[in-house]
Amino acid sequence: MSEFERRRRQAETHLKLQMMKEMSEVMRRTGLPPMAVMREAARAVGHIYRETAEAHCEPSCCPCGWCPQEAMDLERLGEALREASRSSRSTHLSVMQVLGRA
């Protein structure tokens, strides 16, 4: 496994756990159904994209080298959402058990 892939998996695991924890808490506090909360989570990612992209369009942008290309970036985000949503049945059911606790 490449160093990039190792770090990518580490980020995926961390974000998945944290988002699951936060979304379960939001459902518990608000009583909103899972799809309403997941839609807000998707909107939050969209806002984070917008703010991060804007920060990278300024003259004194960060040294990471990312140059936002909105159409391609949003297509890739949509692909990631669709791809992860079609994961194996066992993964899907374990997620539903946690979400079902709201």
24-32 own/partner pairs: CB under 8 Å, 24+ apart: 24/98, 24/99, 24/101, 24/102, 27/99, 27/102, 28/101, 28/102, 31/102, 32/102
Residue 64 or 93 with smaller CB distance to Zn ion: 64
Taking residues 36 to 75 in sequence order and writing x for each that binds Zn ion by CB under 5 A, - otherwise, the string is --------------------------x-x-x---------
Q: To the nearest whole angstrom, how small is the minimum distance from the Cβ of residue 55 to Zn ion?
A: 8
Q: Which single residue brings its beta carbon nearest to Zn ion? A: 64
Residue 33 tokens read as 């159904």
Residue 35 or 64 with smaller CB distance to Zn ion: 64
Residue 36 tokens read as 């309403």
Residue 57 or 64 with smaller CB distance to Zn ion: 64
Binding residues vs Zn ion (CB under 5 A):
62, 64, 66
